A and B are shown apart, each in its own frame.
Chain A
């Protein structure tokens, strides 16, 4: 298995909260293997809203998205896109 990771910055005003976490979880639940969100050496399972929330990612947080296997590349790209567009909350 080849791990792949990408760094992103949380740009939406109120950070990673329930609704954005739900969007990530929905995408991650479709992955073949695990998808991770890493912040300050803490790792959360991207398919769990609760786990994501415990990272307490405010606006401006630098985080790393990691997939355990290359076959989930599309999932990784989609998730990055969500972050970059502020989860569609910015017009």
Chain B
């Protein structure tokens, strides 16, 4: 994978990333690249978890509705 292929990935990352937070007292360097990628991965997995949760809720709602009818 060359760096040009990564541009869309890092663009998404910036969208998911965003605003600011004050400096916390980290004594280890989290590393620029590590900070930038974790937002993306977290967002992807976080979205997956959210979809799963909502899907379960929707399914339950549908099942309740159909079982009643």
Are A and B bound to each other?
no
Binding site for A on B (CB under 8 A): none
